[in-house]
Every structure is written in C-alpha cells, then in structure tokens.
C-alpha cells in the first residue's frame, strides 16, 4: 500500500520526538569544540546553500576550498567569494555564540547587539569590495537602513525607515518569548519570527542571509540543529515566505521543521552515536552505497537488516548492523531445513 504524504502535524511531532531522543540519549547538541567535524560539515553546507538562495554561483567544492584553504577556485567575481566568506564568518560566530554565549544576552535568547553583529560579520567582506550603490555612510554593515524599500513583487511593503529601530526592538522582545508555553506549534512560531524579520527588512542589503543566520542562532540556543534550506528548495521556501507575509505560517513552519530534521539525521545523530547505538534509519542513509531510507526500511521489514521498532513504531538500527547487512545483502538467505 502506498504511503501518503505525511501531515504537517506529523512532521512537527516527528521532529520533537527526534529532539527529545537527542537530549535523552545523546546529551543534546555537542558544542563545536567537542564535535568539530559536525559543525564544519554544517558550516560548509550552510555557507553554500544560504548564499546560493540569494544568487551566488559558487559550487560546494569551491566553497570548501575557499573556507578550508583560502583558495579562490573557479572564475567568479570577487564579490561572490566575499559573499560566501562573510556568511561563513558569521555562521561560525553564530555556532560558537549559540552554545557558549558571551555576557551580552543577560539570559535572553537574543539581543539587539547580536542582531547587528550577525549582519556586520556577514556583510563586511563583500561590502569592502562591492558596497551597496545607494548606501549612505550611516548604512554600513550592522546599521539599520536609512532608505525606504520599494514594495516587493507580491505586494508586501517593508515599514518606512524611521520605524525600523522600534520595530526591531519589538521583534527582539517577541523573540525572547519563544521559550514561553504556547498552543501554536513551535516550527510555526519560528516561521512567524523569521518572516517578521524579513518583513521589517532592517538593512539595505543582506536581510535574507542575516535572517537565516539569526534563525539558526535561535534554533541552536533552543537545542535544535541549525536549519539549512537547500538551493533546490528555493522556490518552495520563497512561496512559503509569501504565504507567511499574509499570516499563513504553516508552509514555512514545515520547511523549517524538515530542514532541522534533515540536519539532525544527516549530520548530528550519526556523529554522536557509536557503532552499536540504535538510531533512526534516516540517520543511517548513505546514498552513494544505495542505502536510501526506503531501501533500509524494506530490508528491515523483510528481516534482511537487523533492526527493531522504537516505542513510537519507528524502525531503528545501528552502524554495525548496517555494515553486516551491506556485507551479506547479496548472499542468498539460508533455506529453512525441511522436517524429516
């Protein structure tokens, strides 16, 4: 029987179950110093995909060479390399501050100073080589815009620039209520938070990049992996943002929930779980080896892959059991001996 598309609520529930499992069985997110390879993988992916959403054309291998070796591989404009470098600098700052914050948050989830710092870190390298053509000296990275923004193609108009300062103060105050109890699904509260930042559009340039960095700062501080919206999901993400502009936050909440769960299963759980630890099948996917989630589930259901169901009915296996399955999957299963 074909499996239907999961409901939005089931996606939210699945994410919360996975996060509860991460906290109870693995001690939550490791700090960057404890699991540098996890954060480096996320860092490369985020710097590539988030800048690509804004039109940057560097491919992932070029991003890795730039960030790891300082080499500008390829034949792109200097502006494009600086966009990636700036975003990567800001993301590394976000990951460090999120788990080991300085003394400027006073126990809050976020401060206005941090909002300005994220934009400053992300935009300074590119601004040094290609500043916004209409920027005044008061609109350098980290400073609110002093221009009004023309209406967006879908009709949304950011507030006039004199309103930005108090609108951002109100936005940060709302952000700091995210830990409070609410009847609204958490991914949709995040979606509203993310969308409201983009609607204010506090900077002359770099609002999308800064908004996604701030979203990830909040996620990690709340114990979730960062969300990476992949460039092939750009249309879905932008359509969800347009719906959020009109007060419909479900589609954007679903995009965020899927992005967080993807990073949890792809990067975090495989790295923190030992070879014998039972983890969801999604954490054992290896596309290059033909180990898709569907193939692993089918192998578990047929008894070819050693696995067991968790309390919530989800299949779990381990790295060592998957290794055994790979070694033996082409062997014919032993036939049952006929009774004498």
What are the tens digits of pLDDT across the range 150-192? 898 877 899 999 999 999 999 999 999 999 999 999 999 999 9
pLDDT at position 312 is: 76
Percent of the chain with pLDDT over 90: 65
Q: What integer best gives the mean pLDDT of the chain?
A: 90
Nearest Cα neighbor of 35 from 271, 279, 278 is 271
Mean pLDDT of 94-120: 82
The pLDDT score that the predictor gives to residue 340 is 46
Convert the pLDDT of each residue in 7-23 to its tens digit. 999 999 999 999 998 99
Tell me the C-alpha distance between 125 and 128, whole Å: 5
Q: Which residue has the higher pLDDT, 321 or 103?
A: 321
Which of 24-28, 100-104, 199-203 is the least confident region? 100-104
Comparison of pLDDT for 338 and 219, the residue scoring more: 219
Q: Name the pLDDT band for 334 (thresholds 50, 70, 90).
A: low
Looking at residue 125, what is its pLDDT?
97
Q: Distance (Å, rounded) from C-alpha 12 to C-alpha 254?
A: 8
* Percent residues over pLDDT 70 in the chain: 94
Nearest to 46 by CA among 263, 246, 243, 237: 263
> Per residue in 261-282, pLDDT tens?
999 998 898 888 888 778 888 8
Q: What is the Cβ-side half-sphere exposure of residue 277, based on CA atoms within 13 angstroms?
A: 14
Q: What is the mean pLDDT of residues 322-336?
A: 73
């Amino acid at each position: 029987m074909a499996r239907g598309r999961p409901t939005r609520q089931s996606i939210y529930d699945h994410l919360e179950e996975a996060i509860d499992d991460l906290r109870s069985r693995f001690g939550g997110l490791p700090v960057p110093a404890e699991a540098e390879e996890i954060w480096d993988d996320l860092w490369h992916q985020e710097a590539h995909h988030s800048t690509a959403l804004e039109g940057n054309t560097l491919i992932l291998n070029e991003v890795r060479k730039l960030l790891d070796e300082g080499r500008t591989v390829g034949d792109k404009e200097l502006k494009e390399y600086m966009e990636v470098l700036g975003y990567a600098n800001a993301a590394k700052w976000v990951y460090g501050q999120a788990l080991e914050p300085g003394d400027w948050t006073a126990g809050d989830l976020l401060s206005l100073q941090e909002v300005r710092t994220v934009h400053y870190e992300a935009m300074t390298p590119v601004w040094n080589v290609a500043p916004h053509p209409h920027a005044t000296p008061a609109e350098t990275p980290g400073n609110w815009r002093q221009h009004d923004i023309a209406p967006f193609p879908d009709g949304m108009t950011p507030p006039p620039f004199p309103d930005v300062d108090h609108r951002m103060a109100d936005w940060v105050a709302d952000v700091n209520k995210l830990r409070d109890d609410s009847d609204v699904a958490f991914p949709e509260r995040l979606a509203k938070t993310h969308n409201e930042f983009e609607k204010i559009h506090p900077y002359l340039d770099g609002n999308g990049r800064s908004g996604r960095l701030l979203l990830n700062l909040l996620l990690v501080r709340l114990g979730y992996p960062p969300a990476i919206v992949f460039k092939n999901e750009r249309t879905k993400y932008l359509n969800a943002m347009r719906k959020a502009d009109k007060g419909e936050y479900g589609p954007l909440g679903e995009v965020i929930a899927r992005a967080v769960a993807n990073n949890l299963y792809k990067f975090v759980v495989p790295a923190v779980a030992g070879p014998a630890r039972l983890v969801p099948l999604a954490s054992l996917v290896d596309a290059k080896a033909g180990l898709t989630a569907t193939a692993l589930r089918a192998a578990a259901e047929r008894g070819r892959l050693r696995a067991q169901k968790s309390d919530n009915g989800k299949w779990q296996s381990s790295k060592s059991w998957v290794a055994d399955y790979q070694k033996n999957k082409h062997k014919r299963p032993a036939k049952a001996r006929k009774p004498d």
